Amino acid sequence: MSQLRPIRLSVLPAALSLTLFAGACGAAPILEVNPGLWTSESEIWINGQSIKPGVQALRAKLRGRLTDAQKAEMDRQQAAEKQACLSPQQAKIDLAAYLESALSGSGPWKCELSATKMNTSEATGKYVCRTGGGGLTQGSFAATYGPSSYRIELKGRGNAVDGRNGNAVGTEEVDQRMLSTGRWLGSSC
């Protein structure tokens, strides 16, 4: 199983999903989650339409061009993206240290947050994220988390951005929503 790592999203800034706990209201708390196997799911909507069907169609098209060995590797990678195995040491998460480490490789986005609430079970607030290439997205976030589950939702508005370089793609703004959930499956990996 994979180790604890940031989840990367191509439409909304990955930095934001990882930063929502680190606000201006003081030091980030130490979260204590259950060690063991965790699973996660994410979905993104643009202007109210889920991008999941398009992503699934693209993966199916790509799969048709792969050898059996490549298909097996793709299946393993996709399964690893949805699961993580946390050791007892990793289950005590210093959010400030984790976020600093995760954000160092989060792509072209630079985010500023204003947390209205942040404690060991929930966080809410507003965000503004920019890229050097003219990308801008802003909105609100709400998160709940505990020893055996989490839920993170972001709602915002911004322009489309090329995730490879951060350059804005056109000037039209779109509504953006991201929902990420996770739950503990058990102590053994």
Cα separation, 163 vs 36, in Å, equals 32
Q: What is the pLDDT of residue 36?
A: 96
Separation of alpha carbons 136 and 177, rounded Å = 15
Q: Token pair for residue 171?
A: 């000037």
Q: How far apart are CA 138 and CA 130, in angstroms?
A: 9
Q: Assign 17 to helix, strand or coil.
A: helix
Report the distance separating Cα 166 and Cα 59, nearest Å: 23
Q: What is the pLDDT of residue 96?
A: 58
List, as one string, the DSSP characters of 105-156: TS-S-EEEEEEEEESSSEEEEEEEEE-TBB-EEEEEEEEEE-SSEEEEEEEE
* pLDDT tens per residue, range 90-108: 898 876 566 555 544 556 8
Q: What does the pLDDT read at residue 129?
A: 87
The reported pLDDT for the residue numbered 5 is 35
The pLDDT value recorded for residue 27 is 60
**Residue 186 region, left (φ>0) first, then alpha (ψ -120 to 50), else beta?**
left
3-class state of residue 166 by DSSP: coil
pLDDT in tens, 137-150: 899 989 898 999 99
* Mean pLDDT along residues 13-38: 62
Q: What is the pLDDT of residues 158-170, one digit of tens each?
A: 998 888 888 998 8
Mean pLDDT of the chain: 81
Q: Are strands 92-94 and 168-186 parallel, antiparallel or unpaired?
A: unpaired
The answer to whether 11 and 124 are in contact (CB under 8 A) is: no
Model pLDDT, residue 98? 65
Alpha carbon 120 to chain centroid, angstroms: 19
pLDDT digits over 124-140, tens only? Answer: 889 888 889 999 989 99
- Of 55 and 25, the one with more pLDDT: 55
Residue 6 has pLDDT above 60, yes or no: no
* pLDDT, tens only, 48-75: 999 999 999 999 999 999 999 999 999 9
Q: Which of 40-44, 119-123, 171-175 has the lowest mean pLDDT?
A: 119-123
